[in-house]
Amino acid sequence: MLRMLKERLEAGASAEEEVSALFSKINKSRLNAYNVLSEEAALERAREYDRSPWGGLLAGVPIAIKSSISTKGIETNCSSRILTGYIPPYDATVIERLKEEGAIIIGKTNMDEFAMGTSTETSCFGPTKNPWDADRVPGGSSGGSAAAVAAGEAPCALGSDTGGSIRCPASFCGIVGLKPTYGLVSRYGLVSYANSLEQIGPLTLSVEDAALVLDVIAGHDPRDSTSARSEGGYFARIEGGVDGLTLGVPQEYFGEGVDPLVEKAVWDAISKLEGLGASWKKVSLPHTRYALAAYYIIAMSEASSNLARFDGLRYGLRLGADQDWHTTFSDIRAAGFGPEVKRRILLGTYALSAGYYGRYYLKALKVRTLIKQDFERALSAGGADLLVTPTMPFPAFRIGERIEDPLSLYMADVFTVPINLAGVPAISVPCGFADGLPIGLQIIGRHFDEAAVLRAAKAYEGATPYHEAVPKEVV
């Protein structure tokens, strides 16, 4: 769709008309995909484009941005009360790159507060709804970005993925979501939740679109010390199929806890890929069962440190207070953070405190190393080229169904978090439906081998109709 839009614009279509059509859709929508719109600035930018079109990979293309990615002059609130009104004075590196390639930012999408959640229900702006069934969650935490793209309220969007936050909503909303290798995309400007795990990535309607956006945002950034060099050219290398590739099927990702319809759809997908020339074999990722515990300890520990800066002193929520520091800031934090954020700050603080650091945080880091080794072994030369698994163990659940039971929500991330611990790239592509709800296929690759991941995803997409289905919320 992004590519088609680009071709339309190149052929002379009006960017202003495209953008204003989007906004009329957004303004009528009941999905709550956005929490801040940049309508006037976007229309003005589109008019400028129409007056004298500029070049660039995304020239004139509108894009939605997750609310945790800093945009100069546009409120970036992470769906948290404590950051409402915060307008960054600078652009994240990915935003600079999008602008350099001519994209137009249309607004900030709803998310789980500070990216903490699997359903976009912890947003202070209320939950986003799933375009396939408005009673259901879109997944999280980039649920707003996924819903907007699935419902045609944006041709593409950026999300961030800490433990599955791009792939989960992509799976629940029936679109494509790519979590790049850790370090491939600069994190400068991404409001940190768990620094060592999170990556910015695209949510799109097609694999090609994802490759195109990745070409724009990937690459070394001197402002991010963890940023790596990128070989780039993902879009150009997307053809080539899976002929001769070996797919690994990790046995730990099937069986108990997985919806049988999901399992069937994924096996069908594996057969389809086999029909395209790939071979497959069972592999083992033996430390998978420790992944969730390690992930939550690391993520919450880092979060407890990252979120300590929000005190209403310099930006964000203000309460009229004339008390001593500690009372004032305690009051602001009590009012500004939602329950899930508070829970994670407290657990993270506990895990890092003297006497527990070795028992929890250090141990989690050790588990992380083992998990990384699991993936390296399974994806080593002579082993599998790619791994294929379900993205989520089940399709989108109902709003309110799990929010009171945090542990069951944490369990939903069981197939996505190991990828973040290992730092490898993974994509979720639509691979079928269960009772009318989309199912996602996860394809995992070696470090910095996005090209292979995208090639396989593209081959699969080309051989299946699932990405063409239109959700019922879209009129």
Partner 1 sequence: MAEKDVIIGLEVHVQLNKLNSKLFCGCSTDYHDSPPNTHTCPVCLGLPGTLPVVNKRAVEYAIRVALALNCAIQGETLFYRKNYYYPDLPKAFQITQYDFPLGLGGSILIKGEDGEERRIRITRVHMEEDPGRLVHAGTIDRAKYSMVDYNRCGMALLEVVTEPDLRSPKEARSFLDKLRNILEYLDVFDGNLEGAMRIDSNISLVGGERAEVKNISSHKGVEKALAYEITRQRSARRRGVAQVQETRHYDELRGITVTIRTKEEAHDYRYFPEPDLVPMRIADWVPRVEAKLPELPDAKRERFVAEYGIADDHAKSLTSEIRVANFYEVVAERAPPRLAAAWIADVLKGELNYRDVTIERFSPDQMVVILDLIEGGKITEKGAVEVIRTILDGPGETTEADPAAIVATKGLSRVEDDAVMAAVRAAVEESSQAVADYRAGNEKAINFIVGVVMKKTRGRADPGEANRLVREALEGAGRA
Measured from the CB atom, is 65 or 392 closer to partner 1? 65
Residues 292-321 touching partner 1, rule: CB under 8 A, are 301-302, 304-305, 308-311, 313-315
Q: Which of 5, 63, 176, 190 binds partner 1 (CB under 8 A)?
A: 190
Q: CA separation (Å) from 413 to 300, 390, 410?
A: 15, 11, 6
- Which one is catalytic: 6, 29, 38, 66? 66
Stretch that binds partner 1, among 9-17, 62-70, 211-219, 247-255 (CB under 8 A): 62-70
The C-alpha atoms of residue 83 and residue 314 are separated, in whole angstroms, by 11
Rounded to an integer, what distance in angstroms lies between the CA atom of residue 52 and that of residue 45?
A: 11
| Of positions 29, 35, 70, 141, contacts partner 1 by CB under 8 A | 70
Pick one of 104, 191, 399, 427: the residue that binds partner 1 (CB under 8 A). 191
Span from 121-129, 142-150, 194-202, 419-427 in contact with partner 1 (CB under 8 A): 194-202
Tokens of 59: 């020239």
Q: Which residues does 330 contact at the CB level (< 8 Å), separation at least 6?
A: none
Q: How far is the CB of 349 from partner 1 (least distance, A)?
A: 7
CA dihedral 361, 366, 371, 377 (to 10 degrees): 160
Tell whether residue 88 is a contact of partner 1 (CB under 8 A): yes
Stretch that binds partner 1, among 17-25, 323-331, 398-406, 442-450 (CB under 8 A): 323-331
Residues between 344 and 363 that touch partner 1 (CB under 8 A): 349, 352-354, 357, 361
With beta carbons less than 8 A apart as the criterion, state whether 387 and 245 touch.
no
Residue of 83, 347, 371, 399 interacting with partner 1 (CB under 8 A): 83
The verdict on whether omega for the bond into residue 141 sits within 30 degrees of 0, i.e. cis, is yes
Size of the site for partner 1 (CB under 8 A): 45
Q: Which of 284, 325, 346, 436 binds partner 1 (CB under 8 A)?
A: 325
Q: What is the 3-state secondary structure (H, E, C) of 64-109?
A: EEECCECECCECCCCCCHHHCCCCCCCCCHHHHHHHHCCCEEEEEE
Cβ atoms of residues 120 and 128 within 8 Å: yes
- Judged by beta carbon, residue 8 or residue 372, the one nearer partner 1 is 372
- Give yes or no for residue 78 binding partner 1 (CB under 8 A): yes
Q: Find the part of the chain contacting partner 1 (CB under 8 A) among 13-21, 186-194, 237-245, 456-464.
A: 186-194
Indicate whether 84 belongs to the interface with partner 1 (CB under 8 A).
no
Residue 147 backbone dihedrals phi, psi, to 5 degrees = -65, -40
Residue 165 known to be catalytic: yes
**Is 141 considered catalytic here?**
yes
Q: Counting contacts by CB under 8 A, is residue 188 touching partner 1?
A: yes
Task: Compute the distance between CA of residue 94 and CA of residue 38 in angstroms, rounded to an integer.
Answer: 18
User: For residue 438, what is the enclosing H or E element?
Assistant: strand 437-444
Active-site choice (70, 145, 165, 428) = 165
Structure tokens that stand for 157 in this block = 């969007």
**Binding test (CB under 8 A) with partner 1, winner from 46, 92, 211, 379:** 92
Burial bucket for residue 128 (CB in 10 Å: 0-12, 13-18, 19+): buried
> Which residues of this chain interact with partner 1, rule CB under 8 A?
68-70, 76, 78, 83, 86, 88-90, 92, 187-192, 194-196, 222-226, 301-302, 304-305, 308-311, 313-315, 325-326, 329, 349, 352-354, 357, 361
Catalytic positions: 66, 141, 165
